Structure 1
Amino acid sequence: MSVLYPTLCLCAYGLFSNMRPSEPFLTAYLMGPDKNLTEAQVVSEIYPIWTYSYLALLFPVFLATDYLCYKPVLLLQATSFVVTYVMLAKAQGLGLMQLLEFFFGLATASEVAYFSYIYSVVEPAHYRKVTAYCRSVALFGSAAGSLTGQLLLTVAEVHLVHLVWATLASAAVAFIPPWFLPMPKRSLFFHKKSEGATERRSDYSGALIEKVDNKVPLDKEVVSTVSLSSEETNRSCGLSEVLKMLLADFLHCYRRGPLLAWSLWWALATCGHFQVLNYAQALWEKIRPSGEYDIYNGYVETLSTLLGSLAALLVGHLPVRWTVWGELTLCALSMLMAACVFVMVALRSIWLCYGSYVLFRATYMLLITVATYEIASSLDMQRYALVFGVNTFVALLLQSLLTLVVVDAAGLGLGVFSQFYVYGGYFAVISAVFFFAGLCKVATRRRSDQEVPSSSPADTDGT
């Protein structure tokens, strides 16, 4: 029951907070008669606020989440969702829509509390299973929300504003479960489980890091330190101590080549993925205006989410040695993502655009699952929480720069079609980077294989 109760509460929250029937039709709603905003206002002045606020709030919310022990930040996220959709339903004008995007950025930044809360209330043996439940329910909620919105629009022929009210109702239901979650007594950094755990990280950091990461049994001296952790009481760490700990872990993690390569792809691809997702509806609206034709954005989002989830599940069954062919695989599939983006914008066919979008998202979710596994497999929980957070922060930083230069009215303020040509070229550059990285890796491996046989006769003569 100690595992079941918080898991059920989290799953209920994840289901309803991600069930957003209005999400696939947001651009059409903002540009329609309900809000009467122009394409330039929506694309260049409203949507960029989400990117900037998400970036600005991510690190402070990350620290606040750990310091406040997760539950208060979950409540903050639930409140932000309710405020966002109340404003979306009732508020008018450019300024209030920009404020709405800030609250949605706050809700998005607070998502770290959803996936990290469970680590503080259940035993490590249940981490993988509970995480899988939470992620699956969140994806199901997103797909169900998109499908519900599409069915309400095409079958029931409701107005777009009614989809917003349906999303608000779902957010109101999601506001309830976090109140019933037990309050954690510890966290990863500020409220550590024991004094011994802190001593282990500081006094024996060098030996312990190498042994844990390489799956080597610990020395007796280190084992004795670890065993003391269960006997010590909880302690709180100051901000400076936490920041020093995070810096030390950061320097250790990113010193390794394979982790750095996967993290680089994570940050670069996530930046481009966010941009395509943010502005795909604007592209669809340009190709097939919702005021003149029926639109099927909900079906597309549902299908892309489900196929992306299926692709993520298939990762474990693919006969690929990621440590050997990882860079070249990233090169090939990044080029496929670039081709999908170019097809979306170049051919101007809504059906090819929809199909390319689905393939784009499925490819990304497959690769991000591989990246997640490759990074997490060599790190303990504290370190991969840090690495994933840093990767997301770098992705948002790159996205903010790309948004400022390409999208924002303060920058170039390009039209939607021109933007997608830029995004296609962006993924082509990512592909080129990993093509050369893969060639260098293959060349290095061949040289090392040639050096081993050539050194064998000398070794034999020496004996």
Structure 2
Amino acid sequence: MLGTQIGVSLFKVIWKSFGIFIRRKIDPATAEHHRRVYWGSKKPELRGQSVVKPGHLLIDCTVFKEKSLKEIYQKIEELIHCFLCFIKHMVTLYKHSKLCSECGGRHHTSLHFNTSNSDLQLPVMNALFSLAENYPYRPKVLLSTITVLKHDASGHYHEARALLVGGNQCSFMTEHCDPENIIRRIQFPGNVIWTFGGKKPVEMENWLKITLYVSLFACFRDFRPVDSFYTSYLTSPAVNFTSEQVSREIYPINSYATTSLVVIMFLITDYLLYKPIVMLDAFSSIIMFLLVLEPVTLFKSKISMVFLGLTSASELAYTSYAYAKITDRKLYQKMTGVIRGSNLLGKCVSSTFSQIAISYMHLDYSLLVYLSLMGSIMAFVVTFFFPSVHSSVYFYPESPISATKHKNYKTIDDKSHKVATKLYFEKKSPTPVRVVLNQLFLELRDVCNNPYLLKYGIWFGFATGIYFQVLTYNDVLYLKLNNEDPVNNKLYNGGVDAIAFITGSFSSYYIGFLKVEWQSASNMFFFIGSLLCCTSLCVCYYTSSLNLVYIMYIIYCFIFQSMNVVARSETAKHLKHESFAFIFGVAYFISLVISSALTYLFVQGTIYAMPVNVQFLFYGLINGGLALWYLFSILISK
């Protein structure tokens, strides 16, 4: 019996020694924890560090207990001992079941800062060094946060907690920097609106949803198969207007109506919070196509041009709506490219279908009117899914109001019922018109005093005005060349429009995601683009080949759409305030004034009645003047 007990004891000693040997090989720090380390150890790395007699535990030493916390901390750090059990190992490599009974920290209760013998002055650590080099344990880190209100896709505000600074050693603090618990500690609620090195999920989801809705609207809005053959429809036997009536009596009404209505539109868009104007855009298009259903009279055609002008005047509302709903200006270039690409995609699909319907299916032009009406109805339906805008820059601004509320926070130190101050937004009553007009004037003055924005405004006014003229009277030029040589100059208006719009769509989408420093590269880009537009339009005057005119038209649309995306996105990004509808409306109004002036002076013949091919030469020379202006800007900047 005695021999059995001796054998079992011997086996336990051997087994324990073997276990310690294995643990040393696998994890020396953990194995070190199971050894009794004394303050007066004779180990080489601890030799000469004795402050008490060897042979007893540090935790039981009376001399140790009489030392100040500062001396104890210095000695423990010097010996690389655990702050919980005073044994040599890193605190993160061994799980202790007991913590400080005072604060729950990862240190022994006798080392708590609020004890009577605490004269410890915490050192200010250099943020360039790792915390592990200063403290052998991992303290809790306090990050600066703030309660904010973030609006969702519907415009409603929700409380979220945002990080103010990055989670790096240059910006955080530990609990030891606040020994008296002056700083309120709360558990992180988890509804992050900004993560370091990541994205903003609320903002990203909002951007995708708004862009999708607006892109669908733009696609259906411009699904108008009749546009490619509208002149042919009005001059067909079913309607029986002459080409002279179409170009001088019907089409000019569109320019005049758009010019007069656009002023009203961009002034009331902000007041009506964008969405009603977007709905008016689609609804007026529906009325326009209803008026040109057979039988068509001259009076109905002129009235339809008024509603077409209303549609054109409201065009900026849906892009301004997108800018107003998306607050991150870094997304403006992408969003503009996607929306503009969707707009041109709708035109491409409608032009392709119209060309197939006329050339291969031999359908009547009136069917194209019905299909265009269906596209406008679909666009009107999509507007009901648009989230409402609850505030605007001028008439309905939102102001932060400070409010103090008592909330029950779950804190680290189990303290609750803290007093929290937060910000919420209160919707003001409508601002007086006089104040709004003064704000609009100041906004316009700021834009005019900014050379970078003024450059885009001048280009937008002249280039877009010329673009309107080209889109309006290209059918007249096609029909003229077709009548001169019906055999060689066959009409492929729909197919050409499809190619022009799809290439413009691709260029808009690509430009939207192109990472270029436009402040330095814009002058060269617009110089080359304006020069190519000048060349393509001038060729239309010198040639009698309709196919070559088609090619020049495709090139012109491709270049214009590329420059248009850059001009819109850069203007939106550099505005001081979110006055998108007003600034774009002013630029749009200037372009319409230029278009109406050209129509009144040279199309209707008030000064000189230009033939349609001479008009294209004149439009090309205007683009040439823009190219020279940008070339001069390049030379001046150098």
Sort the TM-score into its range (normalised by shorter chain).
0.7 to 0.9
Contact 2:341/2:504 (<8 A) preserved: no
Contact 2:247/2:476 (<8 A) preserved: yes
Contact 2:393/2:579 (<8 A) preserved: no
1:95 to partner: Cα distance: 2.9
1:37 equivalent to 2:231? Answer no
1:8-47 equivalent positions in 2, closer than 5 A? 9-47=213-251
Any idea what SS the aligned residue of 2:270 has?
helix
Contact 2:323/2:580 (<8 A) preserved: no
Give the whole-Å Cα distance in 2 for the aligned partners of 1:318 and 1:14. 22
Any idea what SS the aligned residue of 1:194 has?
strand
1:49 equivalent to 2:245? Answer no
TM-score, normalisation: structure 1: 0.80
1:84-99 equivalent positions in 2, closer than 5 A? 84-90=288-294, 92-99=296-303
Contact 2:533/2:556 (<8 A) preserved: yes
Which protein has greater RCO, CA pairs closer than 8 Å, 6+ apart? 1
**1:169 corresponds to which of 374, 378, 383:** 374
Residues 68-103 of structure 1, C-alpha deviation per residue, up to 9 Å, x if partnerless?
A: 222322222222111111112235333322211110
1:159 equivalent to 2:355? Answer no
1:362 to partner: Cα distance: 0.7
1:21-170 equivalent positions in 2, closer than 5 A? 21-90=225-294, 92-119=296-323, 124=328, 128=332, 133-170=338-375
> Which structure has more helix as a fraction of its residues?
1
Look up the match of 1:212.
none
Residues 217-243 of structure 1, C-alpha deviation per residue, up to 9 Å, x if partnerless?
A: xxxxxxxxxx99744333321221111
Residues 404-444 of structure 1, C-alpha deviation per residue, up to 9 Å, x if partnerless?
A: 111124443322122122212222222223333333333xx
Letter in 1 for 2:358: L
Give the whole-Å Cα distance in 2 for the aligned partners of 1:409 and 1:94. 21
**2:602 corresponds to which of 406, 415, 419:** 406
Change (3 A) 1:423 1:133: closer
Residues 105-131 of structure 1, C-alpha deviation per residue, up to 9 Å, x if partnerless?
A: 101111222223345556648964665
Letter in 2 for 1:64: I
Contact 1:345/1:421 (<8 A) preserved: yes
1:298 to partner: Cα distance: 1.1
Give the whole-Å Cα distance in 2 for the aligned partners of 1:68 and 1:168. 26
Give the whole-Å Cα distance in 1 for the aligned partners of 2:527 and 2:211. 38
Any idea what SS the aligned residue of 2:491 has?
coil
Look up the match of 2:529.
333
Look up the match of 1:426.
622
1:349 to partner: Cα distance: 0.6
Contact 2:330/2:573 (<8 A) preserved: no
1:37 to partner: Cα distance: 1.6
TM-score, normalisation: structure 2: 0.59
1:249 equivalent to 2:427? Answer no
Letter in 2 for 1:402: L
1:379 equivalent to 2:537? Answer no
Change (3 A) 1:79 1:314: closer
Change (3 A) 1:344 1:68: same
Any idea what SS the aligned residue of 1:232 has?
strand
1:167 to partner: Cα distance: 0.9
Contact 2:512/2:565 (<8 A) preserved: no
Letter in 1 for 2:227: E
1:104 to partner: Cα distance: 0.3
- Radius of gyration: which is bigger? 2
Unaligned runs of 5+ in 2: 1-152, 155-205, 402-420
Contact 1:44/1:409 (<8 A) preserved: no
1:193 equivalent to 2:398? Answer yes
Letter in 2 for 1:323: Q
Identity over aligned residues, as a percent?
Answer: 29
Pairs aligned (count): 412
Look up the match of 1:287.
481
Look up the match of 2:13.
none
Unaligned runs of 5+ in 1: 197-226, 443-463
RMSD over aligned Cα atoms? 2.9
Contact 2:352/2:495 (<8 A) preserved: yes
Any idea what SS the aligned residue of 2:378 has?
helix
1:349 equivalent to 2:572? Answer no
Look up the match of 1:264.
458
Give the whole-Å Cα distance in 2 for the aligned partners of 1:130 and 1:322. 17
Contact 2:269/2:581 (<8 A) preserved: no
Look up the match of 1:312.
508
Look up the match of 1:417.
613
